[in-house]
Structure 1
Amino acid sequence: MTERKPPGVSFETWADRQIREAEAQGAFADLPGRGKPLPNLNAPYDEMWWVKGKMRREGLSFLPPSLALRKEAEDAAAAVARARSERQVRQILTAVNEKIEAAIRRPPPGPPLNLRPFDVEQAVARWHEGRDGEAAEAADGGITGGGSGTAAPRRPWWRRLRPT
């Protein structure tokens, strides 16, 4: 604890003296951010900056559990597109299906879940179709034959996973 400001001494002079003495004793020599710019100095002010920073450091989610699970399901659908093997597709979808089924049994707080487990067999079949289409396109050199040259745009495969 620091000493109290003596009467008759201006606060600015007293504070400056305290800082100068602490610097001379080396109190500021080994601070973790010494010599580095302040983080987020140019960012707009946010009243909850410390809460958001703490949540980021702790790995907590900003979303309610039901929305976080929806996001995870979307990420799983995108991961299936990048999967290299059928086994990997099954692992990804099985993992997210377990979480969805648990959430259906005991609904999490927040907005409604509105999710159903993925049909793994159907997803694997579509994954195979996508792989076969890529292989045929690569064999053609990317050129499709016949027709007017304009094909109707196909919906992305992850949109086809969910029944409409």
Structure 2
Amino acid sequence: MRLRLDDECRQVVFGECLGKAMQGRGRLYLEGELGAGKTTLARGILKACGHLGAVKSPTYTLVEPYELSAGRVYHFDLYRLGDPEELEFIGGRDLFSDDALCIVEWPSRGAGWLPGPDLWVTLSLCEVGREARLEALTEHGRAVLEALGRDPALADLISDGERETS
């Protein structure tokens, strides 16, 4: 699935829809160059899960935990990760439980250590705004894509011919 995200507002709306579709659980990996909007997307996801405050990128802490009405959400930013084994030292394995939602920015930096994602989102900068490409890698990921394809809030963002699931 591909979506056009012409501005920050649309990116947050997409994040909110994605947060609802994830239903408070799963592994969501966000890849893209610096400035592509990974943390902006995470802000929308967290808003959908009930977080009302600011969302900072956990670049230096590696993970920011949220205890919300929708459940536990862990927002990872692995940009400054020196070695994937560092995730072991912060108790990362315990955080990737089936009843939590894990949002991981820069997942390629944790390659070989991270569990597989349900949904992989690649954000890229375009001439006008950004584009998001979504790939489902599990049954839960496919259900999320189906829910997004039916969400009226995304109707004008989904690129033509991209409503089918991957």
Q: Which structure has greater strand proportion? A: 2
Larger gyration radius, structure 1 or structure 2: 1
Higher relative contact order (CA 8 A, sep 6+): 2
For the aligned pair, the TM-score class normalised by the smaller chain equals under 0.3
Q: Which structure has greater helix proportion? A: 1
> TM-score scaled to structure 2, two decimals?
0.20
